[in-house]
Amino acid sequence: MSVKKIVIGAGILAVVGYFYLEQRVKKIIEQFQFVRIYPVAFKKLDMKWNDGKPFITFNLDLKLVNPTAQNFSAQITAVTLKRILFYDKKNMLLGTANVNVKAINIAANSSTIIPNVPVQMDLQTTILGVLGVLNTSNFNSNDIRIEVIVSILGTEHKIY
């Protein structure tokens, strides 16, 4: 076999592999739209100062629920669940959780728990959010919006 044939064959395999991976990633993103994330347990609450600003850190167990009749699997190394952002109903960032999970499997109509996810919240923003909640007596858990950042082949995508 000549070097030219090996290079052409490797190029064709690379292009086919890229398109296969792209289709697989699109399917994972479509399925992830249905996955719901709920906080389960708070652990190790601590308050710290960073650059003159107070912030709260704690570990959070997150429950990922797959309400569909189809198994959810994101077990390829090209996809990483990077961060989870928590917003109030006025789109003010309340906190950030750095997850960095590469393999997620959730059976159909089932759930899984990701334990000890470190969350950091700016204390000033959190206090303003709590005061806003106290001013409105009809607060419910739907007032907290969760945004998920997924890294796919090094490019970050937001999933709402």
Give the tens place of pLDDT for each residue, 38-86. Answer: 888 888 888 877 777 788 888 888 888 888 888 887 776 667 888 888 8
Helices (H), 33-148: 123-135
| 148, two tokens | 């998920």
pTM summary value: 0.67
CA distance 160 to 156: 13
Mean pLDDT across 109-127? 82
In sequence order, the 6+-apart residues with CB closer than 8 A to the CB of 57 are 44, 45, 46, 47, 48, 118, 119, 120, 121
